[in-house]
Amino acid sequence: MTQRITVVEKILGANERLATENNKILNNAKVVGLNLMASPGAGKTSLIEKTIHGLGSRLRIAVVDGDIATSIDADRAAAAGALAVQINTGGECHLDAVMLGQALAALDLSAVDLLIVENVGNLICPAYFPLGTHKSVLIASIPEGDDKPYKYPGMYQGVDALVINKTDLLPYIDFDMDYFRRGVEALNPGLITFPLSCKTAEGMDSWLDWVSEVASEAKGSTFE
């Protein structure tokens, strides 16, 4: 029993060290990294597409997509105009710092200002594997239900920003926004939050402004 705990700690410790290396690589290249996490289908790739369309003329954007299989999401990011690398984890439910390190090596970082990492759709495991990016962003979505902060506290605790996607569906789904926000506030007080719809673009400007600010301010300054 004790041996098993030790192994887990070693894996997480090794991941932390490699995340620090990734962070140095990003800082040296003056690339700002975002780690997007969410449940499957919350709208990670949709938000990445909108972000490329909104900021691609001002920022050189690269996308690293993590999925168990296929290159569907990297193909979408490339079609939207970004440099894109797909990582297939082959069953792992999260990206780790080794995987991101390999993706960084495959990218010409001198041609990148902003790196967006789309983590594997999962509300548990990605929270425990920092990648070396500068900011972590969680995307919640209305159809998932308003109880998710209460059921997946680890994910909500560790992020720097929260997107609430699919607000266009609020009229059709029982989603108590006050209950949801109270749960978030208890776990991550003052968390900056962007309610928006990738479908209608409502609320998108605030998100794009925040990404622009992070890209200009966070270069080389923070690590997570």
Ligand X SMILES: Nc1nc2c(ncn2[C@@H]2O[C@H](COP(=O)(O)OP(=O)(O)OP(=O)(O)O)[C@@H](O)[C@H]2O)c(=O)[nH]1
Residues that bind ligand X (CB under 6 A): 38, 40-46, 73, 121, 165-166, 168-169, 197-199
Tokens found for residue 120: 């594997």
Give min distance, CB of 214 to ligand X, in A: 20
Question: Which one of ligand X, Mg ion, none interacts with residue 169, CB within 5 to 8 A by kind?
Answer: ligand X
Residue 45 engages Mg ion in binding (rule: CB under 5 A): yes
Give min distance, CB of 117 to Mg ion, in A: 12
| CA nearest to 67, candidates 34, 41, 33 | 41
Number of residues this chain uses to bind Mg ion (CB under 5 A): 3
Residue 73 engages Mg ion in binding (rule: CB under 5 A): yes
- Under 8 Å between Cβ of 137 and 159: yes
Question: Which one of ligand X, Mg ion, none interacts with residue 31, CB within 5 to 8 A by kind?
Answer: none
- Under 8 Å between Cβ of 22 and 100: yes
Q: Which residue reads 């800082």 in tokens? A: 27
* Separation between Cα atoms, residue 133 and residue 35, nearest integer Å: 6
Question: Which one of Mg ion, ligand X, none interacts with residue 41, CB within 5 to 8 A by kind?
Answer: ligand X
Q: How far is CA 121 from CA 18, 59, 89, 200, in A?
A: 22, 26, 12, 23
Give min distance, CB of 188 to ligand X, in A: 20
| Residue number with CB closer to Mg ion (138 or 187) | 138
Question: Which one of ligand X, Mg ion, none interacts with residue 75, CB within 5 to 8 A by kind?
Answer: none
| Residue number with CB closer to Mg ion (13 or 81) | 81
Q: Quickly count: other Cβ atoms within 10 Å of residue 6's Cβ.
A: 9
Beta strands (DSSP E) in 11-102 are: 32-38, 61-67, 83-88
| Residue number with CB closer to ligand X (73 or 96) | 73
Question: Footprint of Mg ion on this chain (CB under 5 A)?
Answer: 44-45, 73
